[in-house]
């Protein structure tokens, strides 16, 4: 009983901002079955395209929205019993047969409210754009039933009933349109088709797709062309994603709405992280804005839900078969990714010949890497095998500069989080970045003890491996990479830094190659694999955003480990970016995390006067272990030598300079040959400039006193030349390696033979120098370079260590006999900790630390103790020193302490003799902080930077914190800040009113906290961004 | 071409950087802070060792002629507030002394010694553990805390491996027979390093020549190692002899001079005496009536001198010879502190050596001059004394002096003066990181 004739009313709505309108009208005119009536809604001010021959067009003005424009037209034309609307967009042009096929289907499927055509690409009708849409059970994800750009081979021709299809160019029954009131405005154009079709199903109608009816669709709206956006589909991502959530809210069960709202935020956060990993930083904002957009549209949801409820005649389960589950979603996402991957592969697939060469190169590379790693580990074991076995047996490395290495996680955490350094009696710290750097190592199984041991013991192997990977960006020659990597790993000043326990320069040396590699790849300057006759594969190397983020992360690590490298490396990044062409912003972004992490220091340097020696001292500071080292001449820096290199016991005639400097000499010669050869000129020039920068940095560092010891009493020390020297060797090796690239296949005939002979000789010589260096350095009986040595992990007697752990947090004063007197140190934890980072007294002048009764007074007190004099202990108790330990073998001081009646011997063991210090006139144990109410003392439950004192009865009192006063100490009771009072000893003190409840105090440095979060965010961003997710293939297919 | 220039320019830049970097002014890191504090220890009482003992124990043969012991013993303790500690005693005042006269037996002789305060580090140059000789170290702890003394022994072959560690209870005394630690060492020097408030060390040097007593005396502590020392009172007459004993802990070249009453006395072969580290060296001192040995060395040394005064044998073979001996410890030159002592009976004379010209006068407790002289630099004088026992006399600063104690029949001993001010010690206090030493 199909009706004899349908009325098809074609309506084209255009906002006048398209170039396709003429084509659209022409396609209507070209239809084998023309629509009965054609309305075109076009703004009055927009230019009208010519009307195709034989087509009668009813020109109309547009209204505010698509639905309203249609509504205006329909209002003037009463509904016909069999009327269908053919709703054309101004970017949809139907192929000639389309309307006829749609009408034919509409006649057969009378229940169909929507009869939709297949959408194909505007420029290529064989490629599918849309062939029906569905959604998940939750509804918050639109699932296309065909992949974008899938080739139409008739594989979908059987498809008919779908949950939804695009309304664009679809036949819609006029009565249904009128009943629904058009499209839902809350979607703002994205997702309204799905909503309309789903409503149609629920209202007892069908939605049918006609795969054979094809409509070209240029997707102007989707790509944001109308807004003149050049970002493609990204332009409307936020709107589309919001539409999906609105759909979920409209169709979910009522109880699910709050859950979905929460879910929007979680989903947005997850996607934002994913965007960072994909280095689509602009999309992070779009994703983060989605939940707020959803919230803004929330008021419209109840209305939508009411309309759905009123219009539905079928139950919700009626559409359930169309909805897809989790597995289908995963398969959908996976096929989308595979599709992109396939396209990348199709674009960059090498020929079989090239593939064979690449496989051979890969095999050579893997073998080379394997040999280098094995030999590097062997060299490490030869040099520091005893350390590694000691670590394995539960001991730790320690040294004068290194301190103890068994530092617990919480100590590092408190140091980095609070901004309060516990060295001595404590002091404000410039930043906590060094602790933060080591915190992940401390959190790993085995703790900092094991990982610092591995870092130092395997320092040579780690640096060698890093250099291997970095040199891969400069040359693909396995020999050049291997030899260069060993020269870098065995760099004499690196060995010196390892032996001295200078953790910062060691980390900087290990991480710098990664930075260099990241920078080269970020700019697309890395070498491709050499194939065929001097070509490289891939022929065009693309800049990698992930590599830029990797460089950013490495740079942040390097400048935390060796702050002196901040200025030269930022300069390198700036210059590199200037030469990087379109990748310049990516390259420049590599400096951001390093600058943010160094923020407090930069501010301090600026405050000190930007171009003064003080500012440089702050910038050249050493965060971790530092030692007094003799300044050396620049040529020694270039060769990586210390002031007095050790000779070899077996070869007394050979001066140490020659023995140790051989590697440096070989590297300098290689760089000189590179300069002379004229090969890879830009890379060689860059390398030489980096080396020059390194020399200047090292010389400037060692000419500045960077450890003043003003607060901590450390030995003042000049800067270490190591980090600058690292830059030198990196620059020279980079230059030499870049020039050596493809040297093997250079020239013809005798020339090639000559080149090959000379490179072979050079390689053998270099290998000889490297082997000789390892042999000399590992020579049994050769004097140690430094004083790092393995010791038992327990430093203090157990009784003393326990007192440090208790809530009273007593400090321990350790005294050691010397020939002429006594040495002392105040310990917060089990042994001297340097690895939590220096507080940077270099900036004391700026942060104004009151040094009331610290170093000098303490020294006098120690002298009194040494002479068994009276009245020494009250001062110690006042500063929270609860235990005095005489070091093992220090019998002089032990007997002096034994003579003091106010000290109680609490234990003697092989790790020292311990004495308890008592408060004068009170039985309450010594503590880090306490409230004193007229002699009635209540100790605090404290950690290194905060604490709490339980409610106490009594009159007015004083809260005393055994730490130097600083305006950033804050004390509160019941939410009310306590007033600070002056303390005769210069400690932090607050008045506690009578009847106050629990008293809490803490050290609160707002600036520190701000920088801390900023550094965390930028570094985390870099870490996520350096995950090489999709990187290459997305780069290739998207742009 | 441009590329070539860029590369060469960059290389030139690198060379330039090396050259210019050498011109950067270097800031010198200051030395680490070291606090040097004067520590004044609590005033400790002075202590004397007590009577001498017969080294191998009292052997009673029943015949007084043959026994080691003696019926003829006189032991006098001089000082205020005397309290016994072990066999010895403490005294409350600034000075105190003991004198013992043993008329016969193995330890016949005069043994006088001044009481001294405890110190942590002291050198005693004297004694012997050769056959017939005994060295008994008496360690007295007058303080209220126990102390542990480490005794290091030096001999003619350098520092001996054998050393002793002795714990002494508060207010206690411990004996140590050095022949039990290191036998057959003819020339000894002892270093005693004690913990806490320190210890008082005296060494009893007793010698036998066959059956005859060859002398007994207390070796008192001398000056701490110094490059300039004087041993006063080495004048001997007749058959008596004087021997100088020297030790340089770290080796030194010392030159010796003998000052007489009229200036330097000829003494050949001692102008550049090479002292091996830790080796005890003995040098015969020429006999002059009154003399003092001046020691100048290029590294710190310690020294002491022994006087041996022979006397006729009362009862024995004709060729047998009896003797008494006296030890005189070296004193620092011109440290600027006056010294005092308490006279005992038989105090005969003050032997004084002046390093600078001028008058020297010795006063008693009331300030009255009891002896005086005018001396040229580098001369000595012998000032006779006739004062009752228990008199406290104080000499001028910057001279070296001892009091000789002489009695019939040829017994000699000496009393050394001591500084009565409380010696504050210098303590260098520095901060340093604490990690355990490597094993």
Same-domain status, A896 and A979? no
CA atoms within 13 A on the CB side of A439: 17
Rounded Cα–Cα distance for residues B51 and B72 (Å): 13
Of A559, A571, A548, whose CA–CA distance to A622 is shortest? Answer: A559
Percent over 90 (pLDDT), chain B:
49
pLDDT of the residue at A608:
84
Tell which residue, A572, A510, A774, has the closest CA to residue A662: A774
A778-819 pLDDT, tens digit each: 888 778 888 899 999 889 999 888 888 888 899 999 999 888
Q: How confident is the model at residue B414 (pLDDT cuts 50, 70, 90)?
A: very high
| pLDDT(A416) > 50 | yes
Stretch B104-123: mean pLDDT: 90
Q: Let me know if residue A589 belongs to a domain.
A: yes
Do A791 and B437 lie within an 8 Å CB cutoff?
Answer: yes
Name the residue of chain B whose CA is nearest to A719's CA. B29
The yes-or-no verdict on residue A713 having pLDDT over 70 is no
Q: Which residues are registered as beta bridge partners of A117?
A: A210
- With an 8 Å Cβ cutoff, are B195 and A892 in contact? yes
Higher pLDDT, B315 or A920: A920
Q: What is the mean pLDDT of residues A488-505?
A: 94
Does residue A429 belong to any structural domain of this protein? yes
Searching chain B, which residue's CA lies closest to the CA of residue A791?
B438
Counting runs of H as helices and runs of E as strands, what totals does chain B give? 1, 34
Higher pLDDT, A995 or A395: A395
CA nearest neighbour of A1029 among A275, A401, A316, A503? A275
**pLDDT band at A850, cuts 50/70/90?**
very low
Please judge whether A895 and B148 are an interchain contact, meaning their C-beta atoms are less than 8 angstroms apart.
yes
Is pLDDT above 50 for A852? Answer: no
Read off the pLDDT band of B60 (50, 70, 90). low
- What are B82's two structure tokens? 């005397």
pLDDT band at B133 (very low <50, low <70, confident <90, very high): very high
Confidence of residue B57 (pLDDT cuts 50, 70, 90): low
DSSP of A404-471: E----HHHHHHHHHH-EE-STT-EE-S--HHHHHHHHHHHSTTHHHHHHHHHHHTHHHHHHHHHHHHH
pLDDT tier at A993, thresholds 50, 70, 90: confident
Question: Does residue A448 register a pLDDT over 90?
Answer: yes
The confidence score (pLDDT) of residue B66 equals: 65
Which residues are within 8 A (CB) of A1009 and not within 5 positions of it... i.e. 6 or more apart? A419
Distances from the Cα of A222 to the Cα of A168, A455, A757, angstroms: 12, 52, 62
B388 part of contact set with chain A, CB < 8 Å? no
Residue to mutate among A899, A901, A905, with most B CBs inside 10 A, is A899
Banded model confidence at residue B120, pLDDT cuts 50, 70, 90: confident
Stretch (H or E) spanning A568:
helix A566-578
Domain match, A764 and A825 both:
no
Closest by Cβ to A628, choosing from B29, B41, B147: B29
Please give the pLDDT value at position A512. 96
Confidence of residue A729 (pLDDT cuts 50, 70, 90): very high
d(CA B401, CA B353): 6
Q: What residues have CB less than 8 Å from A561, skipping those under 6 apart?
A: A434, A437, A503, A504, A505, A506, A507, A508, A511, A623, A624
Q: Extract the tokens encoding A830.
A: 């089990």
CATH number, residue A317:
3.90.550.10
Q: Which residues of B touch A624 (CB under 8 A)?
A: none
Residue B358 makes CB contacts below 8 A (sequence gap 6+) with B374, B375
pTM value is 0.80
> How many angstroms separate the CA atoms of B437 and A409, rounded?
24
pLDDT of residue A377: 96
Q: Are B362 and B369 in contact (CB under 8 A)?
A: yes
Residue A106 has what pLDDT? 92
Provide the domain count of chain A. Answer: 4
Q: Beta strand B88-91 with B97-102: parallel, antiparallel or unpaired? A: unpaired
Q: Does B422 touch chain A (CB under 8 A)?
A: no
Asked whether residue A853 carries a pLDDT value surpassing 50, the answer given is no
What's the Cα-to-Cα distance from A727 to each of A112, A496, A562, rounded to whole Å? 73, 16, 11
**How many Å separate Cα A517 from the centre of its chain?**
17
Query: Does residue B316 register a pLDDT over 80?
Result: no
3-state secondary structure of A640: coil
Q: Does A258 have pLDDT greater than 50?
A: yes
> What does the pLDDT average to over A503-512?
96
pLDDT tens for each residue of A562-617: 999 999 999 999 999 999 988 899 999 999 999 999 999 999 889 888 888 888 88
Q: Which two tokens stand for residue B55?
A: 């080294």
Within this chain, do residues A488 and A517 fall inside the same structural domain, yes or no? yes
* CA distance, residue B433 to nearest chain A CA (Å): 5
- The residue with greater pLDDT, A342 or A57, is A57
Q: Angle at the Cα of B25 (from B24 to B26), degrees rounded to 5?
A: 110
Among A85-99, A534-548, A798-812, B328-342, name the one with the lowest average pLDDT. A534-548
Stretch among A863-877, B300-314, B386-400 having the lowest mean pLDDT:
A863-877
Output phi, psi for A709, to 5 deg: 70, 15
Per-residue H/E/C for A274-332: HHHHCCCHHHHHHHHHHHHHHHHHHHHHHHHHHHHHHHCCCCHHHHHHHCECHHHHHHH
The verdict on a CB contact (< 8 Å) between A699 and B22 is: yes
Q: Distance between CA A437 and CA A429 in Å, rounded? A: 15
Q: Answer whether B31 touches A (CB < 8 Å).
A: yes
A404 touches chain B (CB under 8 A): yes
Residue B68 has pLDDT above 80, yes or no: no
Is the same domain home to A158 and A204? Answer: yes
Q: What percent of chain A clears pLDDT 70, i.e. is strictly above it? A: 96
More confident residue, B194 or A515: A515
Sign, Cα dihedral of A967, A969, A973, A976:
positive
CB A961 within 8 A of CB A928: yes
Across the interface, whether the CB atoms of A899 and B197 are under 8 A apart is answered: yes
Together in a domain, A771 and A877: no
Residue closest to B431 by CA, chosen among A45, A313, A423: A423
- Chain A residues with CB-CB distance to B167 below 8 A: none
Cα–Cα nearest to A428, from A1005, A1010, A1009, A1015:
A1005
Over residues A113-132, the mean pLDDT reads 92
CB contact under 8 A, A895 and B145: yes
Structure tokens at A920: 């004068």
- Is pLDDT above 70 for B61? no
Picking from A344, A372, A398, the residue at the C-terminal end of a domain is A344
> In this structure, is the dihedral angle defined by the CA atoms of residues A17, A19, A20 and A26, taken in order, positive or negative?
positive
Question: Residue A616 has which token pair?
Answer: 């440089």
Q: Are A34 and A28 in contact (CB under 8 A)?
A: yes
Whether residue A765 sits in one domain with residue A628: yes
pLDDT given at position A711: 64
Instruction: Tell me the average pLDDT of chain A.
Output: 88
Q: Are B195 and A894 an interchain contact pair (Cβ–Cβ within 8 Å)?
A: yes
Q: Say if residue A455 is in the same domain as residue A335.
A: no
How confident is the model over A32-85, as pLDDT tens digits?
999 999 999 999 888 888 888 888 888 888 888 888 899 889 988 888 888 999
Structure tokens at A267: 């989903």
Cβ-defined contact of A898 to B196 (cutoff 8 Å): yes
Which residue has better confidence, B383 or A953?
B383
Indicate which of B435, B437, B438, B439 best probes the interface with A, i.e. most A CBs within 10 Å of its own CB: B435
Residue B14 touches chain A, beta carbons under 8 Å: yes
A691 occurs within a structural domain: yes
Q: Are residues A770 and A816 in the same domain?
A: no
Q: Are A506 and A455 in contact (CB under 8 A)?
A: yes
Q: What pLDDT sits at residue A509? A: 96
Window 134-153 of B: residues touching A by CB (8 A cutoff) are 143-148
Predicted ipTM?
0.79
Residue to mutate among A403, A709, A713, A786, with most B CBs inside 10 A, is A713
| Top-confidence residue, B229 or A819 | B229
**Any idea which residue has 């016991």 for tokens?**
A649
Element (H, E) at A877: helix A873-878
A1009 part of a folded domain: no
| Structure tokens belonging to residue B394 | 């104080």
Of A345-359, A996-1010, B50-64, B351-365, the one with minimum mean pLDDT is B50-64
Q: What is the mean pLDDT of residues A416-428?
A: 88
Contacts with B6 from chain A: Cβ below 8 Å: 681-682, 685
Does residue B207 have a cis bond before it (omega within 30 degrees)?
A: no
- What pLDDT, on a 0 to 100 scale, did the predictor assign at position A856? 67
The beta-carbon neighbor of A867 closest among B14, B40, B437 is B40
CB atoms B3 and A814 under 8 Å: no
The CA distances from residue A308 to A86, A256, A311, B327, in Å, are 24, 16, 5, 122
Distances, alpha carbon A643 to alpha carbons A421, A660, A661, B94, in Å: 33, 11, 12, 56
Q: Is the pLDDT of residue A349 over 80?
A: no
Hey, of A391, A406, A633, A634, which one would you mutate to test binding to chain B, going by the most B CBs within 10 A of its CB?
Answer: A634
Q: Kindly write down the DSSP assignment for every residue of A906-918, as one continuous string.
A: EEEETTEEEEE--
In a shared domain, residues A642 and A521: yes
Given CB atoms, is A698 within the 8 Å cutoff of chain B? yes
Asked if pLDDT for residue A848 goes beyond 60, the answer is: no
Interchain contact, B18 vs A695, CB within 8 Å: yes
SS3 A160: coil
Inter-chain contact A693–B120, Cβ cutoff 8 Å? no
Name the residue facing B427 among A702, A822, A827 (closest C-beta). A822
CA angle A441, A442, A447 (to 5 degrees): 105
Give me the sheet containing B172-177, strands edge to edge. Answer: B172-177, B133-141, B200-209, B212-219
The last residue of one of the domains, among A319, A344, A369, is A344
Alpha-carbon gap: A681 to the closest alpha carbon of chain B (Å): 6
Closest-CA residue of A relative to B439 is A791
Interface test mutation site (partner A, options B1, B7, B39, B166, max chain A beta carbons within 10 A): B7
Could you tell me if A173 and A231 lie in one domain? yes
Looking at every residue in chain B, the average pLDDT score rounds to 88
A920 part of contact set with chain B, CB < 8 Å: no
The answer to whether residue A751 neighbours chain B at the CB level (below 8 Å) is no
Strand partners, B303: B246
pLDDT the model gives residue A846: 43
Higher-confidence position of B314 and A820:
A820
Question: Within a 10 A sphere around the Cβ of A651, how many other Cβ atoms?
Answer: 12
- Whether A856 and A877 map to the same domain: the answer is yes
User: Which chain B residue is nearest to residue A787, measuring alpha carbons?
Assistant: B438
Domain enclosing residue A224, as ranges: 7-344
Task: Spell out which residues of chain A touch residue B425, defining contact as CB-CB under 8 Å.
Answer: 867
- Let me know if residue A740 belongs to a domain: yes
Tens of pLDDT, residue by residue over A5-40, are 789 999 999 988 888 899 999 999 999 999 999 999
Residue B278 has pLDDT above 60, yes or no: yes
Boundary residue ending a domain (A294, A317, A344)? A344
Tell me the helix, strand and coil percentages in chain B, rounded to 5: 5, 50, 45
Closest residue in chain A to residue B15, using alpha carbons only? A692
Answer yes or no: is pLDDT of A1031 > 80: no
Task: Judge whether A753 lies within some domain.
Answer: yes
- Which residue do the tokens 């400790």 mark? B44
Return the closest-CA partner of residue A447 out of A943, A835, A1007: A835
Query: Are A340 and A359 in the same domain?
Result: no
């Amino acid at each position: 009983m199909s009706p004899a004739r349908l009325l098809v009313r074609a309506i084209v709505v255009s906002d006048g901002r398209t170039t396709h309108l003429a084509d659209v009208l022409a396609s209507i005119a070209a239809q084998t079955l023309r629509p009965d009536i054609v309305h075109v809604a076009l703004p009055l001010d927009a230019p009208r395209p010519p009307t195709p021959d034989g087509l009668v067009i009813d020109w109309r003005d547009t209204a505010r929205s698509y639905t309203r424009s249609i509504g205006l037209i329909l209002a003037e034309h009463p509904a016909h019993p069999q009327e269908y609307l053919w709703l054309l967009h101004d970017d949809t042009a139907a192929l000639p047969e389309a309307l006829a096929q749609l009408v034919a289907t509409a006649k057969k499927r009378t229940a169909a409210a929507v009869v939709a055509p297949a959408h194909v690409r505007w420029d290529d009708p064989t490629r599918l754009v849309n062939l029906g849409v569905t959604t998940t059970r939750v509804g918050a994800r639109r699932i296309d039933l065909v992949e974008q750009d899938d080739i139409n081979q008739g594989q979908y021709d059987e498809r008919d009933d779908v949950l939804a299809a695009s309304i664009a160019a679809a036949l819609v029954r006029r009565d249904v349109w009128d009943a629904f009131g058009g499209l839902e405005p809350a979607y703002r154009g994205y997702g309204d088709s799905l909503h309309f079709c789903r409503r149609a199903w629920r209202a007892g109608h069908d939605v049918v797709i006609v795969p054979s009816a094809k409509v070209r669709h240029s997707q102007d709206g989707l790509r944001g062309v109308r807004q003149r956006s050049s970002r493609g589909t990204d332009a409307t991502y936020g709107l589309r994603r919001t539409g999906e959530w609105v759909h979920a809210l409209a169709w979910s069960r009522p109880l699910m709405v709050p859950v979905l709202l929460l879910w929007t935020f979680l989903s947005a956060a997850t996607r934002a992280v994913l965007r960072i990993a994909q280095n689509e930083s602009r999309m992070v904002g779009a994703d983060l804005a989605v939940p707020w957009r959803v919230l803004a549209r929330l008021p419209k949801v109840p209305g939508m839900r009411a309309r759905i409820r009123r219009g539905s005649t079928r139950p919700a389960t009626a559409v359930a078969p169309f909805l897809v589950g989790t597995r289908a979603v995963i398969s959908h996402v996976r096929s989308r990714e595979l599709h992109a991957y396939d396209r990348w592969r199709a674009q960059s697939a090498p020929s079989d010949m090239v593939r064979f060469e690449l496989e051979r190169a890969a095999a050579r590379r893997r073998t080379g890497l394997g040999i280098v790693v094995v030999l590097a580990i062997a060299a490490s074991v030869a040099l520091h095998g005893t350390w590694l076995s000691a670590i394995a047996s539960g001991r730790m490395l320690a040294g004068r500069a290194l301190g103890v290495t068994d530092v617990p996680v919480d100590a590092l955490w408190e140091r980095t989080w609070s901004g309060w350094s516990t060295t001595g009696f404590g002091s404000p710290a410039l930043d906590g970045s060094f602790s933060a750097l080591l915190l992940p190592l401390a959190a790993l199984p085995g703790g900092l003890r094991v990982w610092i041991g591995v870092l130092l013991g395997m320092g040579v192997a780690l640096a060698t491996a890093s250099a291997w990977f970095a040199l891969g960006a400069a040359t693909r020659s396995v020999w050049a990479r291997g030899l260069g990597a060993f020269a870098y790993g065995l760099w004499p000043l690196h060995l010196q830094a390892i032996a001295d326990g200078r953790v910062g320069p060691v980390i900087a040396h290990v991480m710098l190659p990664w930075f260099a590699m990241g920078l080269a790849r970020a700019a697309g300057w890395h070498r491709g694999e050499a194939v065929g006759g001097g070509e490289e594969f891939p022929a065009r190397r693309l800049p990698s955003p992930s590599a830029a983020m990797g460089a950013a992360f490495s740079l942040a690590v390097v400048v935390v480990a060796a702050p002196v490298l901040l200025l030269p490396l930022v300069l390198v990044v700036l210059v590199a970016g200037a030469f990087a062409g379109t990748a310049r912003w990516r390259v420049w972004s590599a400096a951001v995390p390093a600058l943010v992490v160094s923020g407090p220091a930069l501010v301090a340097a600026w405050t000190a006067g930007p171009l003064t020696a003080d500012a440089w001292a702050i910038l050249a500071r050493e965060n971790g272990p530092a030692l007094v080292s003799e300044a050396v001449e620049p040529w020694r820096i270039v060769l990586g030598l210390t002031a007095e290199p050790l000779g070899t016991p077996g070869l007394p005639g050979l001066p140490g300079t020659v023995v140790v400097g051989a590697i440096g000499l070989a590297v300098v010669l290689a760089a000189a040959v590179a300069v002379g050869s004229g090969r890879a000129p830009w890379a060689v020039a860059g390398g030489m400039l980096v080396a020059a920068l390194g020399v200047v940095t090292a010389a400037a560092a060692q000419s500045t006193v960077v450890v003043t010891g003003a607060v901590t009493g450390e030995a003042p020390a000049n800067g270490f030349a190591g980090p600058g020297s690292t830059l030198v060797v990196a620059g020279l090796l980079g230059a030499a390696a870049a020039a050596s690239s493809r040297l093997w296949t250079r020239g013809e005939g005798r020339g090639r033979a000559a080149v090959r002979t000379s490179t072979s000789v050079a390689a053998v010589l270099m290998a000889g120098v490297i082997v000789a260096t390892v042999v000399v350095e590992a020579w049994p009986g050769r004097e140690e370079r430094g004083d790092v040595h393995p010791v038992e992990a327990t430093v203090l007697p157990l009784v003393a260590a326990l007192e440090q752990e208790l809530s009273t947090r007593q400090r321990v004063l350790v005294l050691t006999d010397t020939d002429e007197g006594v040495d002392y140190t105040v310990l917060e934890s089990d042994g001297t900790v340097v690895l939590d980072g220096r507080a940077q007294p270099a900036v004391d002048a700026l942060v104004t630390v009151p040094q009331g009764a610290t170093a000098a007074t303490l020294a006098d007190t120690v002298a009194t103790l040494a002479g068994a004099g009276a009245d020494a202990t009250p001062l110690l108790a006042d500063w929270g020193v609860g235990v005095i330990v005489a070091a093992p073998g220090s019998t002089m001081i032990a007997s002096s302490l034994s003579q003091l009646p106010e000290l109680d011997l609490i234990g003697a063991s092989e790790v020292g003799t311990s004495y308890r210090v008592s408060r004068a006139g009170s039985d309450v144990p010594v503590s880090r902080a306490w409230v004193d109410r007229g002699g009635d003392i209540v100790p605090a439950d404290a950690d290194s930077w905060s604490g709490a004192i339980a409610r106490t009865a009594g009159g007015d009192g004083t809260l005393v914190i055994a730490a130097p006063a600083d305006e950033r100490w804050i004390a509160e009771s019941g939410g009310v800040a306590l007033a600070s009072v002056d303390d005769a000893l210069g400690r932090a003190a607050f008045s506690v009113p009578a009847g106050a409840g629990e008293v809490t105090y803490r050290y609160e440095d707002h600036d520190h906290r701000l920088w801390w979060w900023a550094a965390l965010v930028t570094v985390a961003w870099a870490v996520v961004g350096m995950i090489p997710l999709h990187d290459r293939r997305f780069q290739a297919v998207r742009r | 071409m441009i590329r070539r220039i860029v590369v060469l320019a960059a290389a030139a830049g690198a060379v330039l950087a090396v050259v210019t970097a050498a011109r950067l002014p270097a800031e010198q890191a200051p030395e680490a802070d070291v606090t040097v504090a004067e520590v004044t220890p609590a005033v400790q009482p002075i202590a004397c060792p007590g009577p001498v003992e017969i080294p191998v124990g009292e052997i009673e043969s029943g015949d007084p002629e043959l026994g080691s012991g003696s019926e003829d013993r006189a032991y006098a303790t001089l000082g205020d507030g005397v309290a016994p500690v072990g066999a010895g005693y403490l005294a409350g005042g600034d000075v105190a002394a003991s004198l013992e006269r043993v008329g016969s037996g193995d330890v016949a002789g005069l043994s006088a010694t001044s009481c001294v305060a405890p110190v942590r580090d002291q050198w005693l140059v004297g004694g012997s553990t050769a056959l017939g000789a005994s060295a008994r170290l008496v360690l007295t702890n007058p303080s209220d805390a126990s102390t542990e003394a480490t005794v290091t022994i030096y001999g003619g072959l350098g520092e001996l491996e054998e050393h002793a560690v002795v714990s002494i209870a508060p207010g206690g005394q411990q004996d140590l027979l050095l022949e039990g630690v290191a036998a057959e060492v003819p020339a000894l020097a002892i270093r005693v390093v004690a913990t806490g408030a320190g210890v008082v060390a005296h060494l009893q040097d007793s010698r036998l020549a066959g059956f005859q007593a060859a002398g007994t005396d207390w070796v008192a502590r001398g000056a701490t190692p110094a490059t300039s020392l004087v041993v006063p009172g080495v004048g001997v007459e007749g058959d008596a002899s004087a021997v100088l004993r020297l030790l340089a802990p770290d080796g030194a070249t010392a030159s010796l001079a003998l000052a007489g009453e009229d200036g330097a006395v000829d003494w050949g072969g001692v102008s550049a005496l090479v002292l091996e580290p830790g080796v005890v060296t003995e040098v015969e001192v020429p006999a002059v009536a009154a003399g003092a040995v001046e020691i100048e060395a290029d590294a710190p040394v310690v020294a002491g001198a022994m006087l041996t005064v022979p006397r006729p044998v009362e009862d024995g073979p004709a060729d047998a010879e009896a003797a008494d001996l006296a030890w005189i410890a070296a004193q620092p030159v011109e440290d600027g502190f006056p010294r005092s002592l308490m006279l005992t009976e038989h105090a005969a004379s003050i032997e004084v050596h002046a390093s600078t010209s001028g008058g020297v006068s010795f006063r008693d407790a009331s300030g009255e001059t009891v002896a005086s002289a005018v001396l040229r630099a580098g001369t000595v004088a012998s000032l006779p004394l006739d004062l009752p026992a228990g008199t406290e006399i104080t000499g001028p600063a910057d001279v070296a002096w001892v009091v000789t104690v002489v009695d019939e029949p040829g017994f000699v001993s000496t009393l050394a003066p001591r500084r009565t001010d409380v010696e504050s010690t210098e303590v260098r206090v520095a901060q340093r990181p604490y990690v355990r030493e490597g094993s």
